[in-house]
Structure 1
């Protein structure tokens, strides 16, 4: 009997690691020339404290839990039906047992396909949303660098690009603060639009 398990936790971990790696690789550069205005970002801390990243992880953890619970329910029912077959095969006869076994084999294949489809959907949706978030972060850091007049902004984290830097050049907290403010402002606008849409629908219903 094949045991069906949704390894979503591993996927989430891989997604989180990819986040750190992508940001670190993108904003990182090197220069030993003097006279440049430089700063660095602790990308590991950025991904932990940026609220959109935290919401992303929470969303996919909840999705993974829901998928796993559904598959476990299906698997439990399947296992109960297998036990029923084993228990009643002799009393209900060979013809019933053979037909029941074929049905269960088909259900087992369906369960395996369902698991694969869930994993594919989970990974594809997570990858698209993650890439979109990372792209927005890169654009924000790029614009921030231009606005503040930086020649270079370095990135630290899993992809180590800065072996030493004075703390005065660490702009991580400021970037986290600004990104969170922008994200929260965007979330508020989205909620307001939803509320306006709901109010309009209510008014139309009254008419």
Structure 2
């Protein structure tokens, strides 16, 4: 009896696997190694090179200020004993203020470059996603998957998109929660 149940279980599993195989043949799928795509796409390389040049250009004035500060700090160390403790204290405070100001300028430059880099990266990624979507439509793919650093679905036929249904449920749930909060607030006000 146990053998019969085991044989039926194996037979059903084989049939289920066969059904999965035939239904998966109905879909045309592919994948893209996104890490390789980014690494080898010429536009990414060119834009990265342009961004590096821009970063160096923006950083040059700050580098000159830092070199001047370092030279002045070196001079301060050499003259501190010769000119006395009062001079050293005053000059040391001035150097400390300049050092803080340079740090602020450096942080602002870093933040500016990070923001510009993020915008550039987002723009390029959007362009690539649009290209992949158009490519998928043109070639008749149902799904195009992404592998590499960010594994995601890069393209799917509109018929498989459940975004609207999920969004409707989320919005309905949110509206219901919002109404419940308003009712609770009104009841608390009455008390």
TM above 0.5: yes
Deviations 1:107-145 (A, max 9, x none): 100111111111101110000110011011111111111
Quote how far apart the aligned CAs of 1:159 are. 3.9
Alignment gaps of 5+ in structure 1 = 1-31, 163-207
Residue 65 of structure 1 deviates from its aligned partner by: 4.1
Query: 1:106 aligned to 94, 97, 103, which one?
Result: 97
Query: Using a 3 Å threshold, how does the CA distance of structure 1 residues 113 and 138 change in structure 2: closer, same or farther?
Result: same
Per the TM alignment, residue 83 of structure 1 is displaced from its structure 2 partner at its CA by 2.2
Kindly indicate whether structure 1 or structure 2 has the higher relative contact order, using CA contacts under 8 Å at least 6 residues apart: 1
Q: How well do the aligned residues superpose, as a CA RMSD in angstroms?
A: 2.5
Deviation at 1:53, TM superposition (A): 0.7
* Aligned residue pairs, count: 131
Q: Highest Rg: 1 or 2? A: 2
Of 85, 101, 109, the match for 2:76: 85
Q: Distance in 1 between matches of 2:44 and 2:34?
A: 12
TM-score w.r.t. the length of structure 1 is 0.55
SS of the residue corresponding to residue 36 of structure 1 reads coil
**Stretches (4+) displaced over 6 A:** none
Cα distance, 1:66 vs structure 2? 4.4
Residue 94 of structure 1: CA displacement? 4.2
Aligned match for 1:33, one of 7, 18, 24: 24
- Counterpart pick for 1:126 among 117, 142, 151: 117
2:140 matched to 1:149? yes
List runs of 5+ in structure 2 lacking aligned partners: 1-22, 154-191
2:131 to 127, 131, 140: 140
Matched, 1:51 2:13: no
Tell me, in whole angstroms, the C-alpha distance in 2 between the residues paired with 1:47 and 1:90: 57
Decide whether aligned partners of structure 1 residues 158 and 94 sit closer, same or farther in structure 2, where only a CA change above 3 A counts: closer
2:32–2:147 Cα contact (<8 Å) kept: yes
